[in-house]
Amino acid sequence: MNGQSEKEAIRELVPAWKKTRVKIRWAENKVLCSKSAAEVLKSLIKDDPYENFWTLFLDSQNQIIGVEKVTRGTVSQANPPIRNIFAGALLSCATAIVCGHNHPSGNTKPSEEDKQFTTLLTKTGELLGLKVLDHVIIGNSPLVSPGLNNHYSFADEGLI
């Protein structure tokens, strides 16, 4: 570590990480269900034509204490590194997370990769003592009516 102690290295890392976090206020700052998580995620993703993977960091009362865009992928995949998701959660002292990404096609049906990723995500959370409350897929095609309930929740489907 170039002569740095571990504590000094962490002190340098935390401010750099905090600069990448997004600070936004919502009317409802608490995640009560998949629909409220989906609304927050929709406000972040908007109509981006590329897949984006976001994480909501929650305290023990499910209040949102932080939000991070983990990755911006291609038109058909995001591939977020698991370690980056949990690094942000640990640095923000979260007790739980909700993850979400968009499918620009508008189709919210999870792919096999989405299912495998969610399984790995929840197992990693269990090892670290962090609850993964949900993984939400947002369909954000401009061809889909904005009034539709256009999200898929792994928790609602009993997969988390």
pLDDT at residue 27 in the model: 44
The structure tokens listed for 89 are 């959660």
The reply to whether CATH 3.30.499.10 applies to domain 6-153 is: no
Per-residue pLDDT tens for 12-59?
555 444 544 444 444 457 887 888 888 888 888 877 888 999 999 999
Per-residue pLDDT tens for 110-152?
999 999 999 999 999 999 999 999 999 998 765 555 545 588 9
Q: Read off the amino acid at residue 133.
A: L
pLDDT at residue 19 in the model: 45
Rounded Cα distance between 6 and 147, Å, is: 50
Does the structure show a pLDDT above 70 at 103? yes
pLDDT at residue 35 in the model: 86
Domain ranges within the chain, ordered by starting residue: 6-153
pLDDT at residue 45 in the model: 84
**Among the listed residues 70, 89, 83, the one whose alpha carbon sits nearest the alpha carbon of residue 20:** 70
